[in-house]
Amino acid sequence: MAGPAQTTSVTHLIAIKIEKCSHFDGCSVIKVAHWQTTIKSLFIDLHGERENVRLEAKCSTDVRPDSELFEIDPELTIGDLKGFYPVKSLKLQCVTATPDETSSTKGVPIATTLNAFNILLAGTKVHPVKKTCHNRKDELYNDVVEMCVSRDLKLHKSAVKDEGSYIIQVLTNALWYITNQHQTINDTSLRFKDVVPVPEPFEKFQGYNEFKRKKLKAQPLTQDGLHSHSEALFSLLNKPIFSSSWFEFKAVVEALATCLCRYKEYLQKQLTSQSERQSADHPPRTVGSDISIEHRAKSVFVKEKYLVFDQAVAQCPDTNVPIFFDENNTLVNTVSKEPTES
């Protein structure tokens, strides 16, 4: 006969959280479990038995959501766990096998093995994680994370904290830098062939920095700023992950880096031609909405058809008096119409 001490140890209280899946809405319960119950059967009790699913099980010695989780074998019993350590909670997740895997189970054993291997590996890989939102830039960060999740970009669990958040941060910084300037870049790309518009996957990252509401002036893009962000993006692409599982995303990030780099080169060219113009003796200037003044060097040779105009200019007594060029009566071939001088 079992004594009282034994009867209290055959059942255990345990907190169970099952993540939402396509079969089940998810739940958080505290259950009494017999020591011989396996984790898998606890899961099946709540979730129901399904084919082509795999159970990912983790346990913790705490019930707080941020407590450290350990991966465990779903075949372990509650007694095994409790005997090993005072485990208090379980986090269980149903993982549906990919259609690829289920359809290739017959006939192609190698493919099946490979897929199973991939799934095993996938179990140790996770998406980048969001951060606590304190401001608009954090929001942008989290939306970049969401973009990665929607593209199913994963990292090894051990790399998600450092490498994962670093990649997201570099992307966020660059997108934050241009968030109010998409229109400027895109408009310029229509006029200058070397400038490229903001790549389509990043279109949605516009207007995060609401400078108007903050009564601030939008900061113009600078060569230095563009250069450092594009360099940071380009250096991300050297990371091995971009040559393996993130390969398709590489082109997307590269397009953004190129966009920033090209706009920087455009600004550089603009600055060069501007300083050339300004270093001229008489820099052209705008004097009205449709009027500008541009000085031209004297030429030794005047084309015949401009002779009348040239003469008019030469005979003008006062440099403050403008002479209007009108091709109907200032060109030589229409000289019969009496050229007008001002």
| Position 282 contacts Zn ion (CB under 5 A) | no
Alpha-carbon distance 235 to 166, whole Å? 12
Q: Does 21 bind Zn ion (CB under 5 A)?
A: yes
Residue nearest to Zn ion (CB): 94
Residue type, 210: E
Binding mask 48-87 for Zn ion (x = CB under 5 A): ----------------------------------------
Q: Could you say whether residue 269 binds Zn ion (CB under 5 A)?
A: no
Out of 13, 20, 23, 133, the residue judged to bind Zn ion by CB under 5 A: 23
**C-alpha–C-alpha distance, residues 299 and 306, integer Å:** 12
Identify the residue among 14, 16, 90, 94 touching Zn ion (CB under 5 A).
Answer: 94
Region near Zn ion per CB under 5 A, out of 94-102, 119-127, 160-168, 244-252: 94-102
Tell the smallest beta-carbon distance from residue 122 to Zn ion (Å).
16
Angle, alpha carbons 217-221-223 (nearest 5°): 145
Q: Which is nearer to Zn ion, 46 or 149 (CB)?
A: 46
The residue among 22, 17, 167, 154 whose CA lies nearest residue 88 is 17
CB 54 → Zn ion: shortest distance, Å?
Answer: 10
DSSP string, 238-266: TSGGGGTTTHHHHHHHHHHHHHHHHHHHH
Q: Single out the segment in contact with Zn ion by CB under 5 A; choices: 24-32, 74-82, 174-182, 312-320.
A: 24-32
Burial state string for 4-15 with b = 16 or more CB within 10 A and e = fewer than 16 = eeeeeeeebebb
Beta-bridge partners for 147: none
Residues that bind Zn ion (CB under 5 A): 21, 23-24, 94
